[in-house]
Amino acid sequence: MRRRTFVGLVLAGPTVALIGLPTVTTAWARPRPVPPKVTTLPLRGIDRSARAALRGPGPSPLLLSSPTETAGFSMVGVTWQPGADVRLDVEVRTRSRGTWSPWRQVPQQNEHRPDGSEAERAGLRDGTSPLWVGPSDGVQVRVASSGSSHPRDVRVELVDPGSSPADSPPSRPRSSAHAEARRPPIITRADWGADESIRKGSPSYTSTVKVGFVHHTASSNDYTPEQAAAMVRGIYAYHVKSNGWSDIGYNFLVDRYGRAYEGRAGGMERFVLGAHTGGFNVNSFGVALLGDFTSVAPSSSSIGTLAQVLAWKLGTAYRDPRGTAVLTSAGGGTSKYSSGTKATFEVVSGHRDAG
């Protein structure tokens, strides 16, 4: 979905006005942390039998694995050592209940990355977005290069987000007596089962928020209500254990059923430094819709909740969601602005406006 059309849908909603929102909290059953399991498989060379079995048009693969039986997982991605300016076409197919899926593309997440001291942390890895595939026990991966540089130390990352009472959503929100907060209902990290033991270091903060960047996770759109919290846990595990970041990159997430989730730790009311828009994480926040909206529109429920989250968070810094703001680039990544460059953004922007 084109960025202008997408952001236009958000701004067209009545909830984007900075008005008092009904204050409710979500009743979530017996929250507990859920330790994720991440299985890493090296990806080297081309499997001859798999190459002979490939049919149809497509670029010659740079890397191709055999169909491999694995431990259970529900999310898959591919990572590699940073440093090379690589442009890759990554596809995966997975096995569920004895049946192999068709090949599915997994986009690179070049623009999703940390800035500052977190970007200098040892062990960071570039990679694709994590793709939600549902419960699976087999995987095959093929990688083709559309550039002159080739990646090093390529790995397949399989994430099992585990199960939690948070995976069974409540039937309705529960009223709160604290009417002073205009925050819409947001499922907390504790409620969606975040395992805080895998998070690295303490949260970092910025002085304010000037821009809200809208993302989508470029993943499946056909997940069930019971799978949404597990998707958030899977993204969290992938960002920390596979990419090497300190925490999940997004500040907030919204599923297709209109439920919002707390992302990066540090306090929803505070200005937490995220890792969502490389070069422009300072003085901004990122909200990601769970799903792939490259060619289809998000649900009206998710757009309504997205608008509420943007309106509330921008309101904490007295920002006009229909205005513009200036951010200073930290450079790096795929940012089209060199370090120190001042760039003007719409207060509600798509992440691709930055890179």
pLDDT of residue 329: 92
CATH code, domain carrying 282:
3.40.80.10
Choice among 7-11, 84-88, 262-266 with the minimum mean pLDDT: 7-11
Is residue 105 scored above 70 in pLDDT?
yes
Task: Pick the closest to residue 245 from 143, 352, 116 (CA basis).
Answer: 116
pLDDT of residue 9: 54
Is residue 185 scored above 80 in pLDDT?
yes
Tell whether 272 and 150 lie within a shared domain: no
Q: Which domain holds residue 96?
A: 37-160
Tens-digit pLDDT profile for residues 236-257: 999 999 999 999 999 999 999 9
Percent of the residues in the chain that have a pLDDT greater than 90, as a whole number = 69
Tell whether 17 and 57 lie within a shared domain: no
Task: Pick the closest to residue 256 from 285, 286, 231 (CA basis).
Answer: 231
Say which amino acid occupies 175: S
Tell whether 7 and 64 lie within a shared domain: no
For residues 257 and 30, the model is more confident at 257
Q: Residue ranges of the alpha helices (H) in 200-325?
A: 228-237, 300-315
Tell whether 188 and 306 lie within a shared domain: yes
Tens-digit pLDDT profile for residues 188-208: 999 999 999 999 999 999 999
Can you give the C-alpha Rg of the chain in angstroms? 20
Query: Is 141 within 8 Å of 120 (Cβ atoms)?
Result: no
Tell whether 341 and 221 lie within a shared domain: yes
For residue 10, name the pLDDT band (cuts at 50, 70, 90).
Answer: low
**Residue 1, token pair as written in the block:** 């979905």
pLDDT of residue 164: 82
Choosing from 134, 160, 186, the residue where a domain stops is 160
CATH code, domain carrying 155:
2.60.120
Q: Which of 31-35, 97-101, 276-280 has the highest mean pLDDT?
A: 97-101
Tell whether 340 and 192 lie within a shared domain: yes
Based on the structure, what is the number of domains in the chain?
2
